[in-house]
Structures are given as C-alpha cells and as structure tokens.
C-alpha cells in the first residue's frame, strides 16, 4: 500500500463533504452545553465516536462532567497526534445569576446554531464545537479511506475550559474548570501523544505560546451607614461607603492596566502575548436592602500573565496601586494558572507538518496567529505543561462559513496524515 501522503490527502478530502459536515455541526452545536452542564453534548460525542468505531472512553471527575477520548489506531510505530476541543460554552444557563452577565437571556446566538447564506451563526459553533466537528469528520474520512497510519489519532472533547473558577460562595464541581477537563484528562486519560492541537478558532493562524492568568479579589473596606445619617465627602477615596471608595480605586486600576499591558507585551517564536487586565465582577451590599449601605465592596480582577511569570509580581503592583489610591483595601489571590510555550526544538517538526498541510489546503504560507489568540487561555497550555508539544490552530473565530469549516476539516485531516504517517524515531 502506498505511503504517498498526497495520494491519501486526495482520498480523504473526497470523503469530507458539505452534507456530512453541516449535519454534524448543526446536531452537535445545537445541544446546550453551558459550562458546568456539558453532559448531554459529551454523551453525543461519545455515541458518535462509538458508532464510527473510535472506541471512546469517558474519563471524568464525575458522571456529569467527563472528557471523551476516542482513538483512530495506527500500526503502532508512528507519531501520535492529539486533537482537542472543549464542550462547554458561554451564555445563559438558567441560573438566577444570568441577569448579572447578559442583557438578553433569550438571544438566539446563545441558544442555537444555524446556517444562513453559507455562514454559521451561534456561540456554540464559534467556541468551540465547530472546530470539534471538523476534526471528528477528518478522522472519520481518514478511517473510511483506509489510510495506512503508523501512529494514532487521538480525539478528545473536554469540559471546563471556559474559565469559571470557584470563589466565595460559588464553590463545588459546577465551578471547577481544568481540574475536571484537560488537566484531569492528561493525568487520568492515558494520553500518549507526540504532538497536540487545541482545535479552536485562530483565523487559520498558528500559535504555540499562551498567557497564564491570576485572579485577584480586592476588598475595599468601609462602613455601612443608614442613608438619612450618611455624610458625603467630595474625595471619594475618603468616603465612608466602600462602594463609593471603590470608584476611586477603579480609576487607578484602569490607569495601571493600560501601563501593565504596555510593560509586559512580549514576542516569542510561537506568537505575541499581550497580557491584559479586566475588572470582571464587583460585589457589595444587597439589592433588597440598600438603606444601610455595606461594610465592604469587592472587585474581582482577571490579570493575564506572561509564561513563567509569578503572580506575586502582579500582587506587588496591585498593592502599590491600593496605597497610592488612598483607599483601604485588602488583596487576595484566588486563582493562578501558569501559561506555557512549547519548546522551540520540540515543536519545530510539528509546526513544519502544520505548515505543509496548510499550504496543501490553502496554497499559501502559514502565518502566526494574531496576538489575541496567544494572549488568552487554551488547553494546549495544559498539553505543553505535560510535555506534549502543542499548538492552537483553526478556522475563523467569528461566524465561520461552511467553506471555512470545510477547509478546516481538510487541514486537520492533512495534519493528521502528515504526522501519523511518519515513523517514530526514538531519541
């Protein structure tokens, strides 16, 4: 049997059809899977893999939130390639807290995926079940074509990628992320991959570096005072009400965030990281009892980090901001996740394979992705943490067209052939 990759690309591409892709995308992406509630979508992927002969397994911390791992087996003496996308999506989940986040709880974008005039719409197809459908279809086509793979193609679907983290009263398994998702999978899933792809939207650019993140809780202290007896001050930092004090601190934090971003922007071989900061939540007082003010008001900060950066470095800067603001406040770190970059030498053969595959599909050079895609969190950071040289690569992040997802499925198939038809050379 021929080992000519160009021949097998042609055979495989012929089996990736618009009809099959559209059906899979619309079925998978129209299964609701807001973070914490990934079970139904995970079961669909499990059943699909079982039906297609990929011998899937469920590997999870609980029965409600599990990773799905399937394998297209090779001959056993080639390179193994890991594909991964996440099951969880953003958007309203039916929680009473949904109104804290979203203006329109019933917006179609959050709840449905649809194809209109050749373009897919909906949060689920964008992030991240559209790319997942692409690599599933790619693996199906490779299997049907009978390509003589030497290594395995490992297909995975993970919960808990979107960034929810336990804090304060929001605790328990629904709020756990990587520890039930990619992290759990790498520890307990028996993953033996030579390379990995976080299959997510990158506008068909590539990156193999990712920012880390530190979440801080900043609690502004004051005193709850009955409205008829409160005394206002013109200087907000000296106000008795901690919510008013927080306004003074927020202004300082905004100035610091702009400077932080400029100070820490770095360009690596695998992409540019622009670490940004955002005040993602604020909590103080009770909406149903506002006559007495509050003794404290908390700000919750998402601070992105350079690979290898320690959160203590950021904490020191935040304490200085607090001091300079004149506001009495306490600082607490409640989440730290390290960002990683794949080793340049280790990832280079894989990037070459992705480059060759990209060229075969698009007839143009592969480029590094925009900095936004290397400045967020994606699960290839976990794979790189565990020594699997990994990248992120995929279709347009926003409103991918059917043509985009067809090209993505072909690109994923070409990458799998390029990697898994190679002999593994022992080091």
Indicate if 10 and 49 belong to the same structural domain.
yes
Q: Residues 202, 226: one domain? A: no
Question: Active site includes 200?
Answer: no
Among 88, 126, 200, 210, the one annotated catalytic: 88
Please give the mean pLDDT across all residues of the chain: 96
d(CA 313, CA 4): 52
For 82, the token pair is 């890991």
Q: Is 68 found in the same domain as 9?
A: yes
Shared-domain flag, residues 81 and 112 = yes
Residue 138 CA to residue 183 CA, distance in Å, equals 25
Say how many domains are in the chain: 2
Question: How many Cβ atoms are within 10 Å of 116's Cβ, its own excluded?
Answer: 8
Q: What is the CATH number of the domain that holds 227?
A: 3.30.70.360
**Averaged pLDDT, 380-408:** 98
For residue 216, the enclosing domain spans 212-337
Q: Are residues 50 and 133 in the same domain?
A: yes
Take residue 126 and report the two structure tokens written for it. 């964008």
264 pLDDT above the threshold of 70:
yes
CA-to-CA distance for 163 and 165, rounded, in angstroms?
6
Q: Looking at the predicted structure, is the pLDDT value of residue 226 above 70?
A: yes
Total length of the chain: 427
Report the pLDDT value the prediction gives residue 174, as an integer from 0 to 100. 86
3-state secondary structure (DSSP) of residue 71 = strand
Indicate if the alpha-carbon torsion angle 87, 91, 92, 95 is positive or negative. Answer: positive
48 phi, psi to nearest 5 deg: -65, -45
Contacts of 42 (CB under 8 A, 6+ apart): 33, 58, 65, 66, 67, 68, 87, 157, 159
Instruction: Single out the catalytic residue among 126, 161, 341, 379.
Output: 161
- Model confidence over 284-304: pLDDT tens digits? 999 999 999 999 999 999 999
Q: Cα dist. 363→289, 355, 402, 421 in Å?
A: 63, 11, 19, 22
The answer on 243 and 206 residing in a single domain is no
Using 50, 70 and 90 to split pLDDT, how confident is the model at 426?
Answer: low
Q: Judge whether residue 427 has pLDDT over 70.
A: no
Listed residues 318, 337, 356: the one ending a domain: 337
pTM of the model: 0.96
Same domain, yes or no: 139 and 165: yes
d(C-alpha 254, C-alpha 258), whole Å: 7
Mean pLDDT of 71-88: 97
13-64 confidence digits (pLDDT tens): 999 999 999 999 999 999 999 999 999 999 999 999 999 999 999 999 999 9
Same domain, yes or no, for 220 and 153?
no
Q: Is 161 a catalytic residue?
A: yes
Question: Is the distance from CB of 82 to CB of 193 less than 8 angstroms?
Answer: yes
pLDDT surpassing 70 at residue 136? yes
Q: What confidence score (pLDDT) does residue 382 get?
A: 97
Strand spans (E) along 229-318: 266-268, 271-273, 277-283, 296-305
Q: Percent of the chain scored above 90 by pLDDT?
A: 95
Domain match, 240 and 172 both: no
396 in the same domain as 304: no
């Amino acid at each position: 049997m021929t080992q000519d990759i160009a021949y097998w690309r042609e055979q495989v591409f012929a089996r990736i059809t618009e009809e099959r892709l559209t059906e899979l995308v619309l079925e998978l992406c129209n299964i609701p899977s807001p973070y914490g509630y990934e079970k139904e979508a995970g079961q669909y992927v499990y059943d699909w893999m079982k039906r297609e002969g990929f011998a899937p397994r469920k590997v999870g911390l609980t029965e409600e939130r599990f990773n799905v791992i399937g394998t297209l087996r090779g001959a056993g003496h080639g390179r193994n390639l890991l594909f991964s996308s996440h099951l969880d999506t953003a958007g309203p989940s039916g929680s009473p807290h949904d109104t804290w986040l979203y203006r329109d709880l019933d917006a179609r974008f959050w709840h449905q995926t649809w194809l209109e005039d050749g373009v897919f719409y909906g949060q689920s197809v964008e992030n991240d079940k559209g790319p997942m459908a692409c690599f599933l279809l790619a693996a199906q086509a490779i299997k049907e074509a009978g390509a003589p793979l030497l290594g395995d193609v490992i297909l995975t679907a993970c919960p808990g990628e979107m960034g929810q983290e336990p804090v304060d009263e929001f605790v328990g398994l629904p709020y756990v992320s990587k520890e039930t998702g990619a992290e759990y999978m790498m520890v307990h899933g028996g993953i033996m991959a030579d390379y990995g792809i976080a299959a997510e939207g990158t506008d068909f650019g590539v990156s193999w570096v990712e920012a880390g993140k530190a979440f801080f809780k900043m609690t502004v202290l004051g005193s709850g005072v009955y409205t008829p007896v409160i005394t206002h001050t013109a200087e907000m930092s000296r106000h008795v009400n901690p919510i008013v004090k927080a306004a003074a601190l927020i202004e300082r934090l905004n100035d610091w965030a702009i400077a932080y971003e400029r100070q820490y922007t770095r360009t690596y071989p695998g992409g540019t990281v622009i670490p940004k900061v955002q005040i993602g939540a604020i909590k103080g007082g009770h909406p149903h009892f506002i006559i007495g003010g509050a003794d404290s008001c908390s700000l919750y900060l998402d601070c992105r980090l350079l690979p290898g950066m320690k959160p203590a470095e950021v904490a020191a800067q935040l304490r200085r901001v607090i001091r300079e603001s004149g506001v009495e406040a306490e600082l607490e770190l409640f989440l730290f996740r390290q960002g990683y970059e794949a080793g340049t030498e280790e990832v280079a053969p894989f990037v070459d394979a992705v480059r060759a595959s990209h060229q075969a599909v698009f007839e143009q050079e592969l480029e590094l992705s925009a900095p936004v895609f290397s400045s967020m969190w994606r699960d290839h950071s976990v794979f790189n943490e565990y020594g699997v040289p990994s990248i992120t690569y995929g279709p347009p992040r926003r409103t991918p067209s059917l043509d985009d997802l067809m090209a993505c499925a072909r690109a994923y198939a070409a990458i799998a052939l390029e990697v898994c038809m190679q002999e593994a050379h022992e080091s």
